[in-house]
Amino acid sequence: MTKLFEPLSLRGTQLVNRIAVAPMCQYVADEGTMTSWHLMHLGQFACGGSGLVIVEATGVSPEARITHGCVGLWSDANEEGMRPVLEFARTYGTAKMGIQLGHAGRKASVRTPLEGGGPLPAKEGAWQTVGPSALAYAPDWHVPTALDAAGLARIRQDYEAAARRAVRLGFELIEIHMAHGYLLHQFLSPISNQREDGYGGALEGRMRFPLEIFEAVRAVVPDHLPVGVRVSATDWVEGGWDCPQTVEFAKVLDTKGCDFIDVSSGGNSPLQRIQVGLGYQLPFARAIKAAVQMKVMAVGMIIDGPQAEAILRDGDADMIALARAAMDDPHWAWHAARALGVVIPYPPQYARAHPDVWDPWKKRA
């Protein structure tokens, strides 16, 4: 049996394999509510053989969204818009469905990449952003309002409310977004957090609000459902958030019942200098896995089954997350199984494509 196609238990959620489709923003929601695009986009992954599919970064309030087109879970309409997607996945798919809850902080109120990106002007519906400190992401970006006690309390309540909605919908896993320069990452990093109160300064203070959010979500989610986090292990900027600090943060999360940590990097500064290559974020996952008991998810330039299998066999991670590779090939898991000599089930409607009855690669060889 391969490691990649070995089942995995996260509390009461049983995954058929170690492959996860990572959250991918699509920018086509309507006031935070999913559209038919999401049914197609997520439905193909649910039926593509992966063990887990995680819905894109989902704003816990209107102001938490990155763009006007981002998905949210703050209203009854948002909740109802997700229901058909989950019903499709349960009826036809093999993957468990998770959701990533997030708040964009100072990186909110921007145009979609399809519109060229960059901060929204007032005439296009810009809104006031917030952050740990009144520091803009870049010189031409909105200056956020530094969150006071009331603002911090409001955001905790927003996360709790969104988590309750996710549970009510039947999501089988919740991931809290603490990466890519969004609000909780902004609190962790000294680049964006220059507060002088108990939520800033040394590492303990900068970790405080992200840990409060994790505890708030964990408290309203039933014990049988897993809650984890996505982190950026480094800012890729000298003097910023880095892997040793991430390891310490992960150790504390581990003591608070965190079930998994999804290890990405970057996103908090335009000055970042990312060294991209195959598996370029694996050293971060490896360092964290050596320090914690929770499951570790590796992501970043993982392109095929043999590479993913080697990562798990080497003990660098417990799960593999895919984004662009899955978008390019929604049946990535089928093809990884074929490359590794593993037989996995297909949806009955696609049974004629199963290697047992039709294998063009074998015939071509």
Residues 275-325: tens digit of each pLDDT: 899 999 999 999 999 999 999 999 999 999 999 999 999 999 999 999 999
State the Cα–Cα distance between residues 164 and 75, nearest whole angstrom: 12
User: Is 274 part of any domain?
Assistant: yes
The whole-number pLDDT of residue 353 equals: 84
Number of structural domains in the chain: 1
State the Cα–Cα distance between residues 177 and 230, nearest whole angstrom: 5
Q: Degrees (nearest 5) of the Cα angle 161, 176, 252?
A: 115
pLDDT tens-digit profile of 134-186? 999 999 999 999 999 999 999 999 999 999 999 999 999 999 999 999 999 99
Across the chain, what does the average pLDDT equal?
96
Q: How confident is the model at residue 358 (pLDDT cuts 50, 70, 90)?
A: confident
- For 86, the token pair is 């989950």
The whole-number pLDDT of residue 99 equals: 98
**Sign of the dihedral defined by the CA atoms of residues 124, 327, 21, 47, in that order:** positive
Query: How many CA atoms lie less than 13 Å away from 181 in the CB half-sphere?
Result: 19
State the Cα–Cα distance between residues 72 and 101, nearest whole angstrom: 9
In the predicted structure, residue 341 carries a pLDDT above the cut 90:
yes
- For 200, the token pair is 């800033």
State the Cα–Cα distance between residues 233 and 165, nearest whole angstrom: 29
Mean per-residue pLDDT for 99-109? 98
**Sign of the dihedral defined by the CA atoms of residues 59, 62, 67, 73, in that order:** positive
Percent residues over pLDDT 90 in the chain? 93
Bridge partner list, 229? 176, 261
Query: Which helix (DSSP H) or strand (DSSP E) does residue 101 occupy?
Result: strand 96-102
Q: Which residue segment(s) compose the domain that 356 sits in?
A: 8-364
Q: Write the CATH number for 51.
A: 3.20.20.70
In the predicted structure, residue 361 carries a pLDDT above the cut 70:
no
Mean per-residue pLDDT for 179-203? 98
User: Is 1 part of any domain?
Assistant: no
In the predicted structure, residue 70 carries a pLDDT above the cut 70:
yes
Q: How confident is the model at residue 345 (pLDDT cuts 50, 70, 90)?
A: confident
State the Cα–Cα distance between residues 200 and 149, nearest whole angstrom: 13
Specify whether the CB–CB gap between 181 and 268 falls below 8 A. yes
The whole-number pLDDT of residue 144 equals: 98
State the Cα–Cα distance between residues 206 and 333, nearest whole angstrom: 38
Specify whether the CB–CB gap between 203 and 147 falls below 8 A. no
User: Is 3 part of any domain?
Assistant: no
- For 308, the token pair is 């993913």
State the Cα–Cα distance between residues 16 and 230, nearest whole angstrom: 21
- For 11, the token pair is 């509390």
Q: Any residues with CB less than 8 A from the CB of 161 and at least 6 apart, and which?
A: 60, 74
User: Is 263 part of any domain?
Assistant: yes
User: Is 2 part of any domain?
Assistant: no
In the predicted structure, residue 326 carries a pLDDT above the cut 60:
yes
Q: Which one from 159, 182, 199, 346 is the annotated catalytic residue?
A: 182
Terminal Cα distance for the chain, rounded? 24
Which amino acid would we find at residue 358? W
Query: Which helix (DSSP H) or strand (DSSP E) does residue 336 occupy?
Result: helix 332-340
In the predicted structure, residue 365 carries a pLDDT above the cut 60:
no
Active-site residue flag, 182: yes
The Cα-based distances of 119 to 59, 127, 139 in angstroms read: 17, 10, 11
Using N-to-C axis directions, what is the helix angle for 149-169 and 76-92, rounded to 10°? Answer: 40
State the Cα–Cα distance between residues 256 and 109, nearest whole angstrom: 32
Residue keyed to tokens 């950026």: 232
Q: Quick one: DSSP state of residue 12?
A: T
In the predicted structure, residue 362 carries a pLDDT above the cut 90:
no
